[in-house]
Amino acid sequence: MTENYISDYKITNNSAKIQKSLSRAAFLISCCLTGAFFSYMRYRSEIAIESCFLALIVPAIYCLASGLANINVTLKTYRPALLYLIPLFFSYIFSIDSNTDFFRNIIMLMNIFFAFFLASLFGSRPEHDLPCLVMRQLTILLFPLFIYVTLTQQHAHVWGRWEPYGVQPNWLGMMSLGLAWCALAWKSALIRFVPLALSLYFMISVQSRGSIVAFLPALFFASGWFYPLTKMNILRLLATLFLGFLIVIIWSIVSEVSLLNKMTDFLMNEVMRVNDTHRGLSSGMSGRTEGYQKAWKGFLESPVFGKGFGAYSFVHNGFLLTLAESGIFAFMGMLYLFYTSIRSAIKGNRWNNLGYLISYSIALMTFPRSFNINMTGMLLLLVMMTEISHRHIPRKLNSA
């Protein structure tokens, strides 16, 4: 069976037909993710976002029909996800009486099960690197939407914080992080620069501090500018540091105000908003510390199954949220998925995927969700399950 798989790969990998099929599949996936993003941002329609998510069935069928997916690898890749999904299911079943919205929560649970399966299917032929193709297509589709929002929503400010269409700013910050990932999937620095600058503009304007911090590991590992530490990257890093040193010296000579103090003040007060009475340290992080305390108390009261899937709505930490809602086993399953996929990326020197995985894990520390079916969440699952699928293909093919 292995010999036949390798033979089939050698015959079809470089064919124009496969490349066209990959482009079509990536475009279909990108359209679904873009539609979900726009539907929620502009119309706040959960029905529309659910329809766009279910529309991913179309590229899934196309991948199976055109040989871009392997059902056997899909099922093997899906198994590790069950370590997280099964405890999620039991946490819902054993606390069903405490759920305030039965229909909504069961739909969300089914979505997560299906999202992991779709990501396993799309990633079942990892040699094709479908996540990278999807991100490149998404860059093209998302860029005009972000420009449109920038031009039409300049009036939408609340307490100095930008809230286009009244959407929760942290959600838009997470979507901006997804755009940054997509920009980093391109090789050309010129193509990267504009969408990267646009995504950073959104993160800073909506004051999504968690997304800004989460962007840094993606930039470090996925850009190729700093890592791996090749001679060229070391020279580039040294040149950047030297240039920065010169700027600091020149600024100190011509200005009475220290550049370091000015930069620190900008980052702390304009970007991170540390001293903002509504959002800074003195505000108790907008009530988040109280949410953390309630979630931790809930976990201690029910450490095995948690308080029930969907029981908490204001816990801005995906890991703590999982502990509180679904218990220790779901939490361990979640950690295992990150560990396995990160280990695979490091072992295969796929530094871009490593950057995305670390980036999302950091974003979860400030985001009130764990795995989700929104645009950035689906990109993460696609990368994660593609990395896990590398374990289920022949070694010779995996190193090709």
Read off the DSSP letter of residue 40: I
Entry pTM: 0.85
Cβ atoms 44, 167 nearer than 8 A: yes
Whole-angstrom Cα distance, residue 315 to residue 230?
41
Identify the pLDDT of residue 210.
87
Distance CA 66, CA 380 (A): 24
C-alpha distance from residue 330 to each of 86, 121, 212, 362, 365 (Å): 8, 22, 27, 18, 16
Q: Which amino acid is at 332?
A: M
3-class secondary-structure state, position 307: coil
Cα-based torsion angle of the residue sequence 320, 323, 324, 329 in order, rounded to the nearest 10 degrees: 170
Q: What is the pLDDT along the chain (400 residues), one digit of tens a residue?
A: 445 544 444 544 457 888 999 999 999 999 999 999 999 998 888 888 999 999 999 999 999 999 999 999 999 999 999 999 999 999 888 776 555 567 788 888 999 999 999 999 999 999 999 999 999 999 999 999 999 999 999 888 887 788 999 998 889 999 999 999 999 999 888 889 999 999 999 998 888 888 999 999 999 899 888 777 777 777 877 787 777 777 767 766 666 555 556 555 555 555 545 555 555 555 445 567 788 888 899 899 889 988 888 888 778 889 999 999 999 999 999 999 999 999 999 999 999 999 999 999 999 988 888 898 899 999 999 999 999 999 887 654 454 4
Question: Could you identify the residue written with the tokens 């689906």?
Answer: 378
